[in-house]
Structure 1
Amino acid sequence: MKFSQFNAIIPHSGKFALYNSFTQKVIFLEETLKDILQAALNENIDALNEVHPTFYNYLIKQEFIIENNIDEVDKVKKLVKKYDENTDSFLLTINPSMNCNFKCWYCYETHVKNSRLNAEMIKKINLFINKTANKEGIKVFTLSFFGGEPLLYFKKEVIPIIDTYVDACRANGLKPSIYFTTNGYLINDEFIAYFKNKGISCGFQITLDGYKEQHDLVRFVSANKGSYEEIIKNVKLLISNNFPVRLRINYTDKNIIGTHKIADEFNDLPKDIKQRNLLMDYQRVWQDDKIDNTFDVIDDNINKITDAGVNVTSTYSPNNVKNSCYADKRNSAVINYNGDLFKCTARDFTTIKRAGYLSDDGTLVWENNYLERRMSAKFNNKPCLSCKIMPLCNGGCSQHAMEHLASGLDYCVHHGDENKKMQIVKTKVDEIIEA
């Protein structure tokens, strides 16, 4: 028998939590039992059977101790394949433009003025939409808009695509599912009326860069006018009309403090509307990827946001196998305004970096075997294969995996910081307790 690779022991509420990141099971141990277990681990886990057979057999029953011949990494690989190779759904993301009405310092994209969909490209996209909706076995077809700012040319270039998509979905018994990643500044009553007249809703991710003062230093209309108040007003408009919003809080060590006050902006809305339609999501600005003690600051803000009646989440609770990144999935694609194909939206959309193109007949053409190379990129990184939280982290996304595989260097998305990993374990244990 062996102690599962995916077990972790952490102090918790005066006891010790034994947690398994694959089974999502947790048990709490008194210090005496924890010491007995660790003593056995230092020798041979089977020695525990001689010291405390009841405890030993219980750990076997709960899968904390497993048979020697079980390949735990292979179990994770099979689970990843189950989710990422699923072909009954498709996520299509479109960049209608690479232009934007803001210029945020951390944006990884190159803004391209006058970049927009032309009639020929809209025709190609609509051909692909009809093909996909008609494809045998498709049960879920999601349309997402990114950019740039996807609402810049909404009437002329986005509406014709949505109209085709909604008609294609309804003709094939599919429920339309539309999502926008936007800065939220251009949303108005006319925009909402369009969707209501179509009889559909859509979801949004809208970003704030901290509370008002910090946000307006980053995202502003002019030197004398910030964007915070307008964005908050538009978020209220959306959620009051039953459009769900993920309010992404891009944080750094400088703007994290006081972000809980954002939740107070929605105090005038009914609690049920906030609970149903609003989720605040903390995401660190990746250029500010420091190893620091922001966990406590985030926890404090999250507690205050929860007290204000708003749902909240953070990146410290990953579930990257069952909820892997859209770009990890075979059935996903990003079409740029010029027809270039990509998998990931978190990269610069330049033609030299494209993964393929959209053909004249509306077919996705992946160049240089890109799709297959990406789908097989994971599980080549040695540190991941021996990690306790592999079933949670999954080695990051396939974009990370491809880039590091090309460099030949080992990596860890948590910088190999065991404290950071154990903080993730603590978050998971807390979630299990609260469920």
Structure 2
Amino acid sequence: NAFTDMTMVVPDKVLSNDNILDVNKSLLNKLVEGGFIVNDTIDERDEFIKSALAIERNDTSFHLIINPTINCNFHCWYCYESHIASKMDNEMIERVRLLIDRIMNDGKSLTISFFGGEPMLYYNEVMMPILKHAYGKSSESKTTFSANMTSNGFLLSEERIKSMKMLNFTGAQITLDGDKDIHNSIRFRHKGDDTFTQIVNNIKLMVKDGMGVTLRINCSKDNMTSIIQIPSYFNELTPEEKKLIRVDLQIVWQDNNRKEIYGYMDNIIKAFSNEGIPSAKMDFRSFCYGDLRNSCMINYNGDIYKCTAVDFANTPRDGYLSTDGEIIWENDSLEKRMSSKFKNPGCRHCRIFPLCHGGCTKQSMMSTDYCMHNFDEEEKDSIVTNRILLNVTSC
């Protein structure tokens, strides 16, 4: 059920009886509870939209994404960002502190996600001062606080992981681009670097310390076969530690071989599943941070964006952070983004509407005839079957 995200497995012999729901009230009740059987008067599309808007308009929490820098220590060929020398200065850190105070003084729970560039380039100068302030303010105001980051994982260490965990740091999204040889040819500081081994070891350190890792794997026609080797690098972990890793397979946006790559992903999912590591392709379990009213991204210079998927050096900002820590939205950018949700008529009648949530609002602002799956019904079939597999293996 795409709306309730429930998967129910019923043996064939049970379904062989045409009158099964008349005699098996337990099965009937479970089908009703899971949303598989609904009253004829219920419009499930409207019910989903209501529930989605309630989540997106939730005023009890705030998601703050921070770029300590847009510079990076790697040079990946597919990256869309302009990596320029940059660093959040002390004045801007103070503005961020004031914003954190505003959020928590309102009683909102706060999640901070560090982004970039590579956020850990300025671990001591930017990340830790912000983390320590947010953690302290959380204790003072008795509000909930947690933090995470999107990182290449190279600059992590056992000492840093333990320090971050003490400040309610819960995990990271870290990328691998294939097995050791392929990854090192793509993600490096200097030619010949073995970044793969260090990153894999750091991922192991995180999960051994109880932190979650979203292992993002960028797929292209050139690295598909090598990705199958990745699960073997984690075979020393315990079953409990492996469950702290969630694999997220994503197609590199420049690669036009989508159908071929998407078809091969099933082999990758099987390889990770056999190792006891949950895996999915294009997983839509959570709502996009960009669609939440109480969310924003602050660049190192105080410019505010609603979305991280931009070239910050060459994209007009959506607003800015004032000297007293207030978010100032420009050109009605927040309301334009929020009002674009669910405006695409094709989405409302799509069978996977509750799984992809109507796609990207940034794209739907530019076109009302947009589908993130290019209206490909076979790709939608694969999304449904993979979602079933993910739900079953996650039980």
**Paired amino acid for 1:242:** G
Asked if 1 retains the 8 angstrom alpha-carbon contact of 2:219 and 2:251, the reply is yes
Asked if 2 retains the 8 angstrom alpha-carbon contact of 1:209 and 1:255, the reply is yes
**Is 1:385 paired with 2:348?**
yes
Give unpaired runs (5+ residues) of structure 2: 23-27
Cα distance in 2 between the residues matched to 1:332 and 1:296:
35
**Is 1:191 paired with 2:160?**
yes
**Is 1:301 paired with 2:264?**
no
**Paired amino acid for 2:254:** Q
Question: In the alignment, what sits opposite 1:74?
Answer: 46
Specify the SS of the correspondent of 1:361. Answer: coil
Counterparts in 2 of 1:1-400, with a 5 A limit? Answer: 20-23=1-4, 24=6, 67=40, 70-113=42-85, 115-136=86-107, 138=108, 140-195=109-164, 198=166, 200-275=168-243, 277-315=244-282, 317-319=283-285, 323-350=286-313, 352-400=315-363
1:174 to 1:260, Cα distance in 2 relative to 1, 3 A: farther
Question: In the alignment, what sits opposite 1:428?
Answer: 387
Question: 211-220 or 282-291: which moved more?
Answer: 282-291
Asked if 2 retains the 8 angstrom alpha-carbon contact of 1:355 and 1:370, the reply is yes
Asked if 2 retains the 8 angstrom alpha-carbon contact of 1:258 and 1:301, the reply is no
TM-score in terms of structure 1 length: 0.80
Cα distance in 1 between the residues matched to 2:194 and 2:36:
54
Cα distance in 1 between the residues matched to 2:236 and 2:258:
37
Cα distance in 2 between the residues matched to 1:367 and 1:215:
40
Deviation at 1:133, TM superposition (A): 1.1
RMSD: 3.0
Deviation at 1:214, TM superposition (A): 1.5
Deviation at 1:250, TM superposition (A): 1.0
Specify the SS of the correspondent of 1:287. Answer: coil
Cα distance in 1 between the residues matched to 2:294 and 2:342:
20
Deviation at 1:351, TM superposition (A): 6.6
Specify the SS of the correspondent of 1:403. Answer: coil
Deviation at 1:147, TM superposition (A): 0.2
Asked if 1 retains the 8 angstrom alpha-carbon contact of 2:7 and 2:392, the reply is no
**Paired amino acid for 2:208:** S
Specify the SS of the correspondent of 1:225. Answer: coil
Residue deviations 1:31-75, cap 9 Å, x none? xx9xx9xxxxxxxxxxxxxxxx98xxx8x97766863x6544322
Specify the SS of the correspondent of 1:384. Answer: helix
Asked if 2 retains the 8 angstrom alpha-carbon contact of 1:211 and 1:259, the reply is yes
TM-score in terms of structure 2 length: 0.88
**Paired amino acid for 2:293:** R
Cα distance in 2 between the residues matched to 1:25 and 1:312:
16
Greater Cα radius of gyration, structure 1 or 2 = 1
Specify the SS of the correspondent of 2:88. Answer: coil
Residue correspondences, number: 384
1:117 to 1:419, Cα distance in 2 relative to 1, 3 A: same
Specify the SS of the correspondent of 1:179. Answer: strand
Asked if 2 retains the 8 angstrom alpha-carbon contact of 1:219 and 1:226, the reply is no
Cα distance in 2 between the residues matched to 1:192 and 1:27:
40
Cα distance in 1 between the residues matched to 2:43 and 2:206:
48
Question: 421-430 or 287-296: which moved more?
Answer: 287-296
Deviation at 1:422, TM superposition (A): 1.4
1:429 to 1:145, Cα distance in 2 relative to 1, 3 A: closer
Residue deviations 1:118-169, cap 9 Å, x none? 1110110000011111113x2x311110001101111112211111111011
